[in-house]
Chains A and B, each alone.
Chain A
């Protein structure tokens, strides 16, 4: 996977994760392009589109769009499953997650993503393990804060 974007129906970026090194300028251009293209699509259309030499897989959950860019040979359906899994993880962690959760705890959303995907590849397929790792890291953080 090359990158993942989360954005709202209004086109506001909520999360971005880049697994390929690009300059800020390119990143901005890409996200602007994609957000526009995807928002213009109708709900009944399929979740895939070809864009430059990449395949874009996106899915809408409530007011948020989750959008991933994968390479030509990658499997689109598994990418959809990755998106879904991530949403499930967020849901479990925040307890029926909503857009505001992600806005206000955006660093947590990143931490969860980082435990689930690494360098653009799924690193942990077990939901339980991902959440366990996050909880323990949080615990460590709370302890440290407690000590302060």
Chain B
């Protein structure tokens, strides 16, 4: 063995350390990948060695490689090995590697639970610190559940260093395991007043993070925070507190008033910009101060100023509007981030009066903008601004249509969709504009070649979809339908995307019908016949289309036209019938309308329409029952589960469908954003196009003209008004003095250019417009919306220690938890004990009857439930002769417990470590007092000489129970059971090393058989791992090898086999007595189940 170690360290001298690796990588710039792959091979070799120093070095190098982007997930197990090293140097490296490489799906994480627990309770604060730090990066819901109580205990650790970390990590635990919030909260609150400023700020941090997500549960803390805010001088803490108040004030308006004074003080006194910003953000009154920020030459402050402005805008739009000049200036900034912020602000600043002017400015920017992203952003903003609140600010829709048409000149944009939907929306809902819109669209169609350019993969061609539909649907407004029809049947159309072609084909039919109708009266039928011939000539092109939709529509219409031609040749009048095909007005329907239709009386949506499919029916057969599939929402929960994914898929599909359907109208500007994200748009590749050639669609009116026209119109109106007023004044000249002068016109004065009737979307009667289902159900913080003022129920207490594996496997046997369930379970026992105790007059009963075969024991107080304590015995990794007993004391009564003294009668083999100078029979004072309901943990170290035999030590705990009027001395007897298992330490082992160990022949063997074990094999293994500190080396079917090591370095190897209900365990160990005892203990564990 010794030789091996020496050999290991010699080997080590030749290994590369991290510095060598880094240097090597820098020297191999040309063939880095090759160099690293040889390094990885070396590392693999190093990891196979027994020497932990070599392994740690290898893991350290892997962590570096992981950062460079190499996959190191294969070494996860080795990382765990290094984590469990007893030396801080290696442990630190192991935890670092774990925190960098592990994530929730790393499966070895579940092996680490016990290791982490051990490190958390290590006497060395830096071990604990490293474990907490690591845990903060890779905590999983399982780890959070299993370790919540351990971490909670650490929140009261004597060292502020640990308390601080424990408090912070609790936030991560709450997120992963929300049930822990209520039990842990009182202690967290306590930490707000911790003497150590670090701990205090950590607690403020955690509570603020919790509170800003669910503020209403934290209102009761306001006074405490108020006190902190006025007393603290730490800017970091102040910022968090102010943020917290920002979240609380909307719920409790009185707070606002109270806050004004301290906040103003801070604003005036602080020199820290960050604090000032936070205050300003919260107060939202200091617009003038913000102006200073925006005018500052520092780009960062400028950005933040704009950001804060946009927050104020929501509540006080007036006060922001006065800074329009400044914001428009920011649009010219070089920095895109700042320009985008300014754009956001503009959205809220428009009015009927300035809309045209602002949009004009934006259009200029669109022309100038270089990057596609920014240009697209501008485009969406223009549309957002114009369409907000149901086109509230648009006075002239002709102008808006021409803006939209101008926007189509933007090639390479991804937002063709958006423009198209706007065109459709306006044309459908603003009846007065239809004639104009149709004329514009016809021109667009005529010049389609300009839009599509030489590539069909251009987002902007989506506009043609809208244009074709508008021209078809409102074809009665067309001046020259024949020309449009011709434009729509050009061969070039066949290069457009399928869904657009389909619309083209369908709408040619509508145009055709219109033309027939208009020609009906004409004696000379040539035009009709020519049109029919045109259709028959051109449609076959679409019949050949690869797109099913296009093909189907085209062949259908082609047949129809051919039939019409026959009738025409017989001089039959067909126009009436043909137009009847497309008769009727289609009204827009609100997207939520379907949901709002009230359920008619007598209709039970949950009732089956068809008989439900029988149980035995397989999944594939389900579609037969059409209605159950159609309405999965209303079917039984069993089906809902199955269909959840499918539902989501369909919802997505439906959204997509609605996006393309002109009859679905986006309810509000916010939903437009959703639309923009619809997957269909993203699929359209963006093509960069040389824009040096100005693309002017001939014959299209320029929006600028409208601005001028509008200005003239308004002036005229004003002039007329003045005239009228003058008249009035003339009439009233003798009357009172001047009435108001119509200097700057007010909002109401502007009358729309056209009588506009904006059709609102249809909703079923008595449906209430609401947006209640807008919350995201997947928000992790939603789970933390927990009432914290309710008293704690027993069932909510944290498990003191729970069996990770057993629970994860959903063990059907409950007794595994019985020992681990902690308080609840023991309480039951305590009541049982109370009954027994009544017989016992001296109020002292050997609590040993509760001692379990594991290292975990619950001792329940016999003094009327004063005290409850749990202890956990663990071998000390650093020292082979030490065992640490951690005892959690919990005060279960309503009195104060103090002067607790813990004493154990030493045996020859095991001795309680007492401070120097005290006698062998002196008790140890427990270093804390317990107010009612509080628990705390103390650790006692025992020296053990031989670990091969289990041992029981008798002990007593004395304490004083102090009431308001009296105090009594109480005593509790207990037994500590040092099982052999408690000397074992879970140590992972490689299968190679395991095989070598077995081959070495130094080990003595022994075996046991367990009869009637009725549990799945993996439960059995999990149980051995958990109760007896083993780790699984390898598992093949119903056979597994397991390994553990004692604190004195004895190897214990098990081979577990199972057949029927018999389990045989063959075991090997270099110490036969130890082995025998461990096996006995295993047997006992299973005899209890």
A residues with CB within 8 A of B: 13-19, 21-24, 28, 42, 44-50, 73, 75-78, 80-81, 103-104, 106-107, 110-111, 114-115, 118-119, 121-126, 129, 133, 136-137, 140-141, 144-145, 148
Contact = CB atoms under 8 A, between A and B. Distances in A.
B168 A118 contact: yes
A21 B133 CA distance: 14
15 contacts: A21-B103, A22-B103, A24-B103, A47-B300, A75-B239, A75-B277, A107-B93, A118-B165, A119-B171, A119-B172, A122-B201, A124-B198, A129-B198, A133-B129, A140-B88
A78 B205 CA distance: 13
A77 B280 CA distance: 13
Contact of B88 (A77, A121, A141, A148): A141
Contacts of A46: 298-300, 302-303, 335, 337-338
A13 B103 contact: no
A48 B303 contact: yes
B22 interface: yes
A23 B105 contact: yes
Contact of B274 (A48, A75, A103): A75
Nearest to A141: B89
A121 B205 CA distance: 7
Interface in B225-269: 234-237, 239, 243
A51 to B, nearest CB: 10
Contact of A44 (B169, B197, B273, B334): B334
Nearest to B167: A123
Q: State the 6 A-B residue pairs at the shortest beta-carbon distance, nearest first.
A: A77-B274, A46-B299, A119-B136, A46-B303, A45-B335, A114-B133
Contacts of B165: 118, 123
Given A21-B137, A78-B236, A106-B63, 10 more contacts: A13-B67, A14-B67, A23-B105, A46-B335, A75-B243, A76-B300, A107-B18, A118-B165, A119-B169, A137-B126
A118 B173 CA distance: 13
Contacts of B890: none
Contacts of B67: 13-16, 106
Contact of B300 (A73, A75, A80, A148): A80
Nearest to A132: B161
A148 B22 contact: no
Interface of B: 18-19, 22, 53, 60, 63-64, 67-69, 71, 73, 87-89, 92-93, 96, 99-100, 103-105, 124, 126, 129-130, 132-133, 136-138, 140, 161, 164-165, 168-169, 171-172, 197-198, 201-202, 205-206, 209, 212, 234-237, 239, 243, 273-274, 277-278, 281, 298-300, 302-304, 334-338, 340
Contact of B96 (A110, A126, A141): A110
B429 to A, nearest CB: 32
Contact of A106 (B64, B105, B335): B64
B111 to A, nearest CB: 17
A77 B308 CA distance: 13
B73 A24 contact: yes
A81 B89 contact: no
A125 B89 contact: no
A85 B212 CA distance: 25
Given A42-B334, A78-B274, A141-B89, A125 B206 contact: no
A133 B303 contact: no
Given A19-B136, A77-B277, A140-B126, A122 B64 contact: no
A49 B335 CA distance: 10
B88 A137 contact: yes
The winner among A18, A75, A133 for most chain B CB atoms within 10 A is A75
B927 to A, nearest CB: 22
B53 A148 contact: yes
Given A136-B126, A137-B92, A145-B89, A13 B69 contact: yes
B201 A125 contact: yes
B103 A121 contact: no
A133 B334 CA distance: 44
Contacts of B335: 42, 44-46
Given A50-B337, A77-B304, A140-B126, A122 B205 contact: yes
A145 B274 CA distance: 44
Contacts of B201: 122, 125
A80 B165 CA distance: 22
A34 to B, nearest CB: 14
A14 B96 CA distance: 15
A18 B137 contact: yes
The winner among A15, A17, A21 for most chain B CB atoms within 10 A is A21
Nearest to A110: B96
Contacts of B130: 137
A104 B22 contact: yes
A73 B243 contact: yes
B239 to A, nearest CB: 5
B522 to A, nearest CB: 62
Contacts of A133: 129, 161
Contacts of B88: 137, 140-141, 144
Contacts of A106: 18, 63-64, 67
A119 B202 CA distance: 11
Contacts of A17: 100, 137
Contacts of A148: 53
Contacts of B100: 16-17, 110
B27 to A, nearest CB: 13
Contacts of A24: 71, 73, 103
A110 to B, nearest CB: 6
Given A77-B274, A119-B172, A44 B198 contact: no
B103 A23 contact: yes
B19 A104 contact: yes
A1 B126 CA distance: 24
A118 B132 contact: yes
Nearest to A44: B299
A45 B334 contact: yes
B643 to A, nearest CB: 27
A118 B167 CA distance: 10
Contacts of A115: 133
Contacts of B93: 107
A121 B164 contact: no
Contacts of A118: 132-133, 136, 165, 168-169
B209 A121 contact: yes
Contacts of B337: 45-46, 48-50
B877 to A, nearest CB: 13
A93 B832 CA distance: 60
B237 to A, nearest CB: 8
B96 A107 contact: yes
Contacts of B235: 78
Contacts of A125: 197-198, 201, 234, 236-237
B932 to A, nearest CB: 31
Contacts of A16: 67, 100
Contacts of A136: 126
The winner among A23, A111, A118, A136 for most chain B CB atoms within 10 A is A118
Contacts of B161: 133
B243 A119 contact: no
A76 B92 contact: no
Nearest to B297: A44
Contacts of A122: 201, 205, 236
A15 B66 CA distance: 10
Contacts of B103: 21-24
Nearest to B88: A140
Given A121-B206, A148-B53, A48 B198 contact: no
Nearest to A77: B274
B213 to A, nearest CB: 10
